[in-house]
Structure 1
């Protein structure tokens, strides 16, 4: 896929190398076999392929660990970009990995270890419950919500968005209890293949991809006592190191908004646990002056190549040297 011939020089100007280097870090969660109207933010295989082809053609994709090291050393090439995935969905291995290998783009996969081998995250339970509900009214007034008319896909998507927003920042145990109550409205069982298996994590690493920690149960760290937050982070690191037989040096904060989802004390925990870098979801591009334990990232929502490239170029102008 070829765009304008001036894109590479423009990208080099906005994202130079060396002492003035800038690093863009992209966030993905899933890559779907086909578009899904209830998962509008997740790319399908076709969209993901052309995005990776554009990165390979116009940018310099690097493993995140190498990019962070070279950013510190001021040897990063121009147009540097790193691709990351959060959570540990099986489609990362089944759909994304073959595309990454074919186009020659490395990636880092941050794994929430508590969901390996058959687990389900609470938000996925909500989405799939609403997907499976028959047409008609869903009365959730007993949970402090509304009566939702589920007639078409737009209705279901609107209900999902409202319910997820309501549950997201509840205390973990209460959120799980309310999620369980809602899923009882659906009598279909969920498959055990949504998240990766331990074997698939090993296969990703054997394929040359990087593996990072993403806590054990994906909590809002800011809602936890410090000891519990440290246990969450340390447990995921230890389990992945045991699984892979090597140190795990990269970490991603769940949800990742600084000052809201994680606090400065959690940055200190990642340093004390010997992580070499950690990533947030603060939008922007990193430079050698950025905090390596709070690197910014952004999500490429775009559905056309031109918009995707514009977002990458625009992001290169938004340097983040400090967060919080």
Structure 2
């Protein structure tokens, strides 16, 4: 099946770089989130290894710019800094001898928890058949069945995601207090695990301090998030950071041209969005696209990766 991606991703100046994005690698499937577990991850990793040439992202960016990429070039990335990246994903990457880049929201290390995980775990642990959130203007929700619990969760996430930062934080705190469940404090990496990844030869990239949607905060705060996240991670790994990923990552919605400029000024050499597509030599190195196929069969996985090479890349300009 290598033939198909090779036709559309030749070596050299006409090469295309496919960058795959992951977040968590769970030991078992999670019915609430509808997400697969480690077995599915390793299967898709095998599909990628068999059909693409996997490179370290930093090297791939340089070779993209210089027109020296191999045919079927691809990179693997992980966002946010979940502990399972170090505990589960790293051993698998080492087993298969492939590199990856981990973009870390440094403010959640060592026992922190992202706001969406507070919502997820609160809804997971909520008891009873209904969840009365009317006191905080989030409605009265039925959670009797798994499907109803999922609908409640995804509805709340969608509602809260684009609220002003302080408003969202206050709402999430109130929701958590109302449900009053004991939430996990080990979802995110420790500083030692970040260093472990770096020492294992994996790349570490910036992902801000608190993972804000940059387009929804003021410029001074956004600049601090970008630069402080870089500084704190460099202190942990004892090496400079060259790569950045925009939180949430949708061009024009989650980050703007002003944030692209901030990332350049912070000293990064490339940055990644979550827009679909595959990068080419003329692509903006500070708005590189990412994509992950969801197919369970190798043929369809490879076909979807190949089709993604022809996706028009969305950027801000």
TM-score strictly above 0.5: yes
Measure, in 2, the Cα distance between the counterparts of 1:79 and 1:157. 37
Shift of 1:306: 3.2
Conservation of the 8 A alpha-carbon contact between 1:286 and 1:321: no
Counterpart of 2:29? 35
Cα separation, 1, equivalents of 2:297 and 2:122: 31
Determine the C-alpha separation between the residues in 1 that align with 2:314 and 2:117.
34
Work out which of the residue numbers 288, 295, 298 in structure 2 matches 1:295.
288
Which of 297, 306, 309 is equivalent to 2:302? Answer: 309
The 1-side partners of 2:32 and 2:129 are apart by 17
Q: How far has the Cα of 1:55 moved from its partner? A: 1.4
Contact 1:290 1:322 in 2 (8 A): no
Q: In structure 2, which of residues 133, 146, 157 is the aligned counterpart of residue 140 of structure 1?
A: 133
CA offsets per residue over residues 191-234 of structure 1, 9 Å max, x none?
A: 22100000000000111100000000000101111111000000
1:91 equivalent in alignment to 2:84: yes
Q: Give the structure 2 partner of residue 23 of structure 1.
A: 17
Distance 1:299 1:173 in 2: 31
Paired residues, number: 317
Deviation at 1:313, TM superposition (A): 1.3
TM-score by length of 2: 0.97
Deviates more, 1:52-61 or 1:108-117: 52-61
SS in 2 for 1:184: helix
Q: Alignment partner of 2:292: what SS? A: coil
What's the C-alpha RMSD, in Å, of the aligned pairs?
A: 1.3
In the alignment, the residues of structure 1 paired with residue 270 and residue 85 of structure 2 have an alpha-carbon distance, to the nearest angstrom, of 22
Deviation digits for residues 238-263 of structure 1 (CA, Å, limit 9, x no counterpart): 00111111100100000001111000
How far 1:142 sits from its partner (Å)?
Answer: 2.6
CA distance in 1, matches of 2:160, 2:42: 33
Instruction: Give 2:239's match in structure 1, choosing from 240, 246, 251.
Output: 246
- Deviation track 1:116-168 (CA, whole Å, cap 9, x = no partner) reads 00000000010110110113111122332321111111111100010000000
Gaps of 5+ in 1: 1-6
2:150 is matched with which residue: 150, 157, 164?
157
Q: Is the 8 A contact 1:216 1:236 kept in 2?
A: yes
Tell me how far apart the structure 2 counterparts of residues 224 and 186 of structure 1 sit (CA, whole Å).
29
1:171 partnered with 2:164: yes
Are 1:78 and 2:71 matched, yes or no? yes
In the alignment, does 2:113 pair up with 1:127? Answer: no
Rate the CA distance shift 1:323–1:80 in 2: closer, same or farther, 3 A: farther
Moved more, 179-188 or 21-30: 179-188
Superposed CA deviations along residues 18-46 of structure 1, whole A, max 9, x for unmatched, are: 01010011110000100001222x43110
Structure 2 residue ranges without an equivalent (≥5): none
Secondary structure at 2:178's aligned position in 1?
A: coil
Q: Give, in angstroms, the shift of residue 322 of structure 1.
A: 4.9
What is the SS of the residue equivalent to 2:179? coil
Q: Deviation digits for residues 161-182 of structure 1, max 9, x if unmatched?
A: 1000000011111101100111
**Aligned equivalents of 1:304, 1:96: Cα separation in 2:** 21
* Residue number in structure 2 paired with 1:109: 102
In structure 2, C-alpha distance between the alignment counterparts of 1:26 and 1:189, rounded to whole Å: 34
Instruction: State the Cα distance separating 1:319 from its structure 2 match.
Output: 4.9
Work out whether residues 282 and 323 of structure 1, in 8 Å CA contact, stay in contact via their aligned partners in 2: no
Hey, what does 2:212 align to over in structure 1? Answer: 219
Taking structure 1 as the reference length, the TM-score comes to: 0.95
> Which residue does the alignment assign to 1:63?
56
1:323 deviates by 4.4
**In structure 2, what is the equivalent of residue 4 of structure 1?**
none
